């Protein structure tokens, strides 16, 4: 079974529901643009509009067929997670997203959905995570910055969420947010090329040093975009750990415990990732439908120096095991 472990989907029914129920979300302003919707959460600057490929189910299935992909793990779109809005409103917003992700997965079983949770409140995030598992979700996709722009995933207020994830054995896919937290990357297309990397690297490094990855060992953490720069900086992470072992989590143990996708766009980088963490921790991914992703994701696995058994694991074997397919 060929499985794409990293993609995004906004079901058309979700957009219809948002328009119909907008009065329930006073902190969210809808911005109709070119037949699609953008959002302003809690008065912040508008998001990009939902692009057609995010909601084009027929087009997505055709792309999967062309690429010989049988199933695809789909999270929502990070721009519309709405972690900036008040907690109660954010809880209802996450539930609305999850309802429609669960529905599209029932209608089209080739999609494996990842839920959304209101990270602005750790207790509510835990509650929604438990509900999501009850709906059939195996885990969630969360942003690197739990306040939309700003905040850290090791914030003590999020402890209830991490405890619930550990108890449930959740898959936690950690994904960069649109605002990387560094205004220097908003030129030359660097938000995509570099900002996503630095954002993920910082968020993951904090979780590693806070001890979350090894402490909550029953959850399954997926570090998107090939683990960002984690494999390349493991020596520095290890050196820093050696200077303060009493206070810091072990980076080698954390990297060995996590999972990664293949979205590195260079066979040498993918081979190095495998050398550092093991090919048995890597899953093929596309970041569909975004152009910065890998829209022919089987090629890099084919062209990288892997054994046949390693390729089988990367192209679907590991994802099948993690998601219980």
Which pLDDT band holds residue 179 (cuts at 50, 70, 90)? confident
Name the average pLDDT for the chain.
96
For residues 94 and 29, the answer to whether their CB atoms sit within 8 Å is no
Confidence of residue 180 (pLDDT cuts 50, 70, 90): confident
Percent of the chain clearing pLDDT 70 (strictly above): 100
Q: Which among 271, 305, 299 has a CA at the least distance from the CA of 285? A: 299
The owner of tokens 């709906």 is 135
**What is the mean pLDDT of the segment spanning 182-198?**
92
Confidence of residue 169 (pLDDT cuts 50, 70, 90): very high
Whole-number pLDDT of residue 35: 84
At 220, give phi and psi (nearest 5°).
-125, 105
CA–CA–CA angle 199, 203, 205 (5° rounding): 115
Q: Is residue 125 classed exposed, middle or buried when 0-12, 13-18 and 19+ CB atoms within 10 A define those classes? A: buried
Q: Please, are residues 73 and 5 in contact by the beta-carbon 8 Å criterion?
A: yes
In the predicted structure, residue 28 carries a pLDDT above the cut 80: yes
pLDDT tens-digit readout, 272-318 = 999 999 999 999 999 999 999 999 999 999 999 999 999 999 999 99
Strands (E), 34-124: 36-41, 71-75, 111-113
Q: Residue 220 in contact with residue 183, Cβ under 8 Å?
A: no
Q: Are 93 and 26 in contact (CB under 8 A)?
A: no
Residue 283 vs residues 55, 88, 100, 140, 242: alpha-carbon distances, Å: 24, 35, 26, 16, 30
- Per-residue pLDDT, 304: 98
The per-residue pLDDT for range 127-157, each reduced to its tens digit, is 999 999 999 999 999 999 998 889 999 999 9
Per-residue pLDDT tens over the stretch 219-266: 999 999 999 999 999 999 999 999 999 999 999 999 999 999 999 999
Look at residue 11 and give its three-state secondary structure.
Answer: coil
Confidence (pLDDT) at 148: 82
């Amino acid at each position: 079974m060929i499985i794409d472990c990293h993609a995004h989907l906004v079901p058309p029914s979700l957009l219809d529901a948002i328009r119909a129920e907008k009065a329930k979300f006073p902190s969210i302003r809808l911005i109709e643009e070119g037949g699609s919707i953008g959002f302003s959460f809690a008065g912040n600057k508008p998001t990009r509009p939902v692009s057609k490929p995010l909601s084009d189910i027929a087009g997505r299935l055709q792309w999967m067929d062309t690429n010989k992909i049988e199933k695809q793990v789909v999270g929502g779109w990070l721009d519309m997670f709405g972690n900036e809005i008040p907690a109660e409103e954010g809880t209802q917003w996450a539930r609305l997203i999850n309802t429609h992700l669960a529905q599209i997965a029932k209608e089209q079983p080739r999609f494996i959905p990842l839920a959304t949770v209101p990270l602005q409140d750790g207790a509510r995030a835990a509650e929604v995570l438990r509900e999501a598992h009850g709906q059939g979700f195996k885990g969630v996709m969360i942003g690197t910055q739990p306040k939309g722009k700003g905040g850290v995933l090791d914030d003590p207020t999020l402890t209830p969420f991490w405890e619930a994830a550990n108890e449930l054995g959740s898959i936690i896919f950690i994904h960069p947010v649109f605002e990387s937290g560094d205004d220097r990357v908003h030129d030359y297309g660097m938000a995509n090329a570099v900002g996503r990397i630095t954002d993920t690297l910082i968020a993951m490094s904090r979780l590693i040093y806070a001890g979350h990855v090894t402490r909550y060992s029953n959850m399954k953490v997926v570090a998107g975009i090939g683990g960002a720069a984690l494999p390349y900086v493991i020596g520095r992470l290890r050196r820093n750990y050696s200077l303060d072992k009493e206070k810091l989590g072990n980076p080698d143990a954390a990297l060995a415990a996590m999972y990664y996708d293949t979205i590195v766009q260079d066979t040498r980088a993918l081979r190095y990732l495998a050398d550092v963490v093991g090919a048995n921790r890597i899953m093929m991914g596309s970041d569909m439908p975004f152009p910065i992703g890998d829209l022919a994701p089987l090629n890099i696995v084919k062209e990288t120096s892997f054994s046949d058994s390693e390729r089988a694991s990367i192209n679907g074997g590991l994802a099948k095991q993690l998601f219980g397919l």
